[in-house]
Amino acid sequence: MAQLEGFVKPGSIEEAIVSQIDFTRIPRHIAIIMDGNGRWAGRRMLPRLAGHRAGVQSVRETVEACARLEVEYLTLYAFSVDNWKRPRTEIDGLMRLLLEFMSRELNTLLQNNIRFRTIGRIEQLEPAVQRELMNAADATAACTGLNFYIALNYGGRTEIVDAVRRLLSDPEHAGKDLSALDEDSFARYLYTAGIPDPDLLIRTSGEMRVSNFLLWQIAYTEIYVTETLWPDFRARHLFESIVHFQGRERRYGGLSTRDTAEPAVKR
Ligand code: IPE
Ligand code: IPE
Ligand code: MG
């Protein structure tokens, strides 16, 4: 059962929202497009980097809330393959914040039994960043609680192209007939091999698009968009998104239980 004692104060708004959550139906995998840092800073007449810096606290709180709710997988979209189009100073600032985050948070991850990994073309990041990420992944490899992924230099289309390349260079398939290839065997070549598809995709700051995130994996994911900007995102917003998620009916292309219970229409 969720361990929210000491995290959610009795009588608080958080507690009122948490009371609406069905703890037997917590999403296994939550993915988040952390958007709106620049707008948050702009509204305060601050440089964009101040928004990214403020967003780090939202990451901390979201990771802790997911661990306490016993969510199995959390994937945060932190830097896309398309974000290289931004000014060099912003990119450098983001990488610095990432380095800081990894070195400061490693102990907390370990204490909370959180296993950290990345998805994306990590080999194209600066060597110092790669080292820090690898160090955190190695250090937390034996943790058995929340699986926490950060998507870095990640693109959904890039991931699919990388998967095709890996598949074609795998001796199991190279030069052979691919007619037996199916969705499950293809998905083994994605960065997310072995990870269940997200149940819930959250996007902050109101934009109604997926911006190249987990394109293959979100085929039947429930999408929740909040106007809240990422630096303002707190545990209560996560709790709210789960309440909304639990109110949805997932049909996967089939019929709802209500519809299947109806007598067949006579012709
Ligand atoms: C999200 O915030 C963080 C990254 C993409 C790195 P943005 O920087 O995109 O913020 P907005 O969308 O400009 O407000
Ligand atoms: C998506 O946000 C990428 C991340 C959150 C890392 P963007 O701000 O880059 O996406 P667009 O440009 O609004 O589509
Ligand atoms: Mg944005």
Q: Give the number of the atom of ligand 1 that is nearest the alpha carbon of residue 36.
A: 14
pTM of the predicted protein model: 0.96
Asked if pLDDT for residue 262 goes beyond 80, the answer is no
Is 35 considered catalytic here? Answer: yes
CA distances from 171 to 69, 180, 256 (A): 42, 15, 43
Q: Is 83 a catalytic residue?
A: yes
Confidence of residue 176 (pLDDT cuts 50, 70, 90): confident
With 0-12 CB in 10 A as exposed, 13-18 as middle and 19+ as buried, what is 109? buried
Please, what are the domains in the chain? 28-157+197-246 (3.40.1180.10)
d(CA 226, CA 27): 18
Residue linked to tokens 């065997």:
185
* Residue-wise pLDDT tens digits, 110-126: 999 999 999 999 999 99
pLDDT of residue 2: 85
Those residues with Cβ within 8 angstroms of residue 88's Cβ, 6 or more apart along the chain or in another chain: none
User: With 90 as the cut, is the pLDDT of residue 140 above it?
Assistant: yes
Q: Counting atoms of ligand 2 from 1, which one is nearest the CA of 35?
A: 5
Helices (H), the chain: 13-18, 37-43, 48-69, 88-111, 127-139, 156-169, 183-187, 235-246, 257-261
Task: Looking at the CA of 54, name the nearest ligand.
Answer: 1
- Determine the residue of 32, 34, 39 to mutate for testing ligand 1's pocket, defined as the one with the most ligand atoms within 8 A of the Cβ atom: 39
Choose one of 205, 209, 212, 228 to mutate for the ligand 1 pocket test, by most ligand atoms within 8 angstroms of C-beta.
205
**Which one is catalytic: 37, 82, 83, 177?**
83
- Specify whether the CB–CB gap between 149 and 191 falls below 8 A: no
Which tens digit of pLDDT belongs to each residue from 141-151? 999 999 999 99
The rounded Å distance from CA 121 to ligand 2 centre is 17
Helix (H, G, I), strand (E, B) or coil at 149: strand
pLDDT tens, residue by residue, 5-61: 999 999 999 999 999 999 999 999 999 999 999 999 999 999 999 999 999 999 999
- Tell me the mean pLDDT in the region 90-94: 98
Backbone angles phi, psi at 93, to 5 degrees: -60, -40
Task: Count the Cβ atoms, other than its own, within 10 Å of residue 193.
Answer: 10
Sign of CA dihedral 126, 159, 84, 97: negative
Ligand 2: residues whose CB is within 6 Å? 33-35, 77-80, 83, 207, 209, 211
Map residue 152 onto helix, strand or coil: strand
